[in-house]
Structure 1
Amino acid sequence: MQIILTRGLHAELLALAAREAPREACGLLLGEAQEGGIARVAAILPAANVHTDPQRFFEIDPVVLIAATRAARNGGPQVLGCYHSHPSGVAAPSATDSAMAAHDGKLWAIVAADTITWWRDGADGFEALSSPDQQG
C-alpha cells in the first residue's frame, strides 16, 4: 500500500502529538483510497482521547468517529484510518493496540518523539508500511 500526504499534514501529526503529551493524542485520517493500493490522506481530524487512562491508552471520541463515518457515506472524505501517539514509547503498535485493533484493513499512524510510522491493520495483525510519499 502506498500512502500519500502533504508535508504540512506530516508536521501537523507531530505537532498534535507534542501538544497533547503526556496524554496520547488521537484522531482520524481522512482522504481517498484509490486504485492500485494508494491511500491519499487529505485531512487529519483530531478527536478527544476519551479513555479513562489517556496517558497510557487511547480511545477516539465516538461522536467524532460516527460523524466522520456519516459524512463519508454522504460523499465526504473516507475514513482511511486513525492516528495516535505514544508519548513515552516507540512508534510501533503496542500489545494493547494489537489487542484492541479491529483488523479491518485501515491505516494506523503512530507518533513517538519526532517519528511517525505507518501500519495496516490487517486480518493477521499489523503490517508495517513504507513511509508516505510527501507532497507539497
Structure 2
Amino acid sequence: MKRLLTFILIVSFVGIAIFGFTVFAHGMNSSDNNCVTSPIDGTACPTSIAAMTLHHISSLQTLLTSVTPSMSSLLMLLAFILLVSVSIFQLYKNLLFPKLELLRKRLHDLETNLSYSKQKIISWLSLFENSPSFSYVRHS
C-alpha cells in the first residue's frame, strides 16, 4: 500500500510538471496577456498551444544557459544521476546481493518440512503394519 501511494504521488507530480503548461494557455487569448516567460526573453506571448509550448521551452533553455554554462550543466546532471544511483543501491543492497543467511534459513526450513512430512507418512504407514484388518483375508 505504501509503495502504491508513493508511485501515485510521483506520477501525479510528474504529470503536473509535464502537462501543467497547458493550463497557461487558457488565459493567453485575453487582452491581459500575462505570460509567465515573457519577462525572461522580452517577446510577446503566443496564442496557440504549440507556439506557447515552444516559447516556454525556449525560455527555459535561455534561463538555463544564462545561469550555467552548457558543459557544467551536463556534468551536474551526470553527477546527480550518479548520486541518485549510488543512493538507491546503498539503500537497497538486497537487490543486487541477497543475504545468504536468508537463503540458508529457507533451505533449512525446507529440509525440516520435508523430513517432518516424511516422518508423518512413515508413522501413518506404521499403524497398518500389524493391523488385524489386513491379516484376515477372505477367500471365496
TM-score by shorter chain over 0.5: no
Flag the structure with higher helix content: 2
TM-score of the aligned structures, taking structure 2 as reference length: 0.22
Flag the structure with higher strand content: 1
Instruction: From the CA coordinates, give the structure whose radius of gyration is larger.
Output: 2
TM-score of the aligned structures, taking structure 1 as reference length: 0.23
